Amino acid sequence: MELRNLITFIHVAELGSFTKAAEQLGYSQSTISFQIKQLEEELNCLLFERINHTITLTERGHELVSYAHRIRELTDEFKEGLTQESVGGYIHIVTPDSVCEEMISEHYMDFHAKYPGISVRFSTGDTGVMLDMLDHNEADAIITLDRRLYNKDYVIAKEQPLPMHFVAAATSKFAGRKKLSIMDIMHEPFILTEAGQGYRRYFDRELAKKSVEIMPVLEIGRTDIITSILMQSNMISYLPDFVTAPLVEAGKLAYLNVTDMNIDIWKQLIYHKNKWMSRSLKTFIEYIKLHEFSN
């Protein structure tokens, strides 16, 4: 059994397309088809059902995916053991804007100093986009700020609940109030993240349950811009603590004690169960688990 045929099989299975696998591997489509045919003949079973120009894994195909990943992983580990070279490779990570900003500003230089051979591509997106990218093998791992997600096709490498607060300038008339209701602040000018995305979606749902609607004066995905505007204005926002805590500690922002809005938001590091775990991806995930998530 040729390793290259198994690697081709993994790509076709993950991408769901002979054409996309050919583009990613740099082969012709006829080469991909030939390699899969060779593998099917050698194993004496059908790995893909081909109906109306679409392909789906057969039961045997699903079984082979896990074995193929294990064989590839063991081969990779053996090669790395022979060369004794430092870990290297390319990985693609997708996160919300705020997480991307924090990871790059707080941790990237340290990660690069420890693992200079690993090239990291950071992209941003909403949860739905990120999950779609995992399903189509367009992202190696994602970090979500959303409801607590569970799916049999995903591995949750790390997760933690995410504290959130209403926040305003330290000079706000609401700062220091022992108890507030959403009704006390609903008519104030708000600056919020974009509607329909991540925790903003659940924020709006909770408001709707109370028959409350907040029309922000500004919507923007960049939490660094939001906090900057908050410090210079009388506006209010609703943000995760990891974004605002340093500014609150510095006395530039203040948390508002709104007692009747409780939203369960989780931060989760996720990858697809069928994803081939290269040494570089394993290294990155372990680093993020240690540095990006509190214990």
Residue 285 buriedness (CB in 10 A; 0-12 / 13-18 / 19+): buried
* Residue 109 vs residues 159, 268, 288: alpha-carbon distances, Å: 24, 22, 13
Dihedral, 270, 272, 275, 281 alpha carbons, nearest 10 = -10
pLDDT at 197: 78
Judge whether 239 and 167 are in contact, CB under 8 Å. yes
- Could you say which architecture CATH assigns to the domain 3-83? Orthogonal Bundle (1.10)
pLDDT at 143: 92
pLDDT at 77: 64
CATH 3.40.190.10 applies to domain 89-161+266-291: yes
pLDDT at 24: 85
263 three-state secondary structure = coil
pLDDT at 79: 63
Domain ranges of the chain: 3-83, 89-161+266-291, 164-256
Residue 209 buriedness (CB in 10 A; 0-12 / 13-18 / 19+): exposed
pLDDT at 229: 96
- Could you say which architecture CATH assigns to the domain 164-256? 3-Layer(aba) Sandwich (3.40)
pLDDT at 294: 63
155 three-state secondary structure = strand
The helix (H) or strand (E) run that includes residue 122 is strand 118-124
| b/e sequence 158-186, b meaning 16+ C-beta within 10 Å | bbeebebbbbbbbebebeeeeebebeebe
Per residue of the chain (295 residues), give pLDDT as tens: 678 888 888 888 888 888 888 888 888 888 989 999 998 888 899 999 888 778 888 988 888 887 887 787 777 666 665 554 566 788 999 998 878 877 887 888 888 998 898 899 998 888 888 999 888 888 999 999 888 889 999 999 999 998 899 999 999 999 988 899 999 999 999 999 988 877 888 899 899 999 999 999 999 888 889 999 999 999 999 999 988 999 999 999 999 999 988 888 899 999 998 887 888 899 999 998 888 876 5
> Do the two domains 89-161+266-291 and 164-256 of this chain adopt the same fold?
yes
Round to whole Å and give the CA distance between 161 and 277: 26
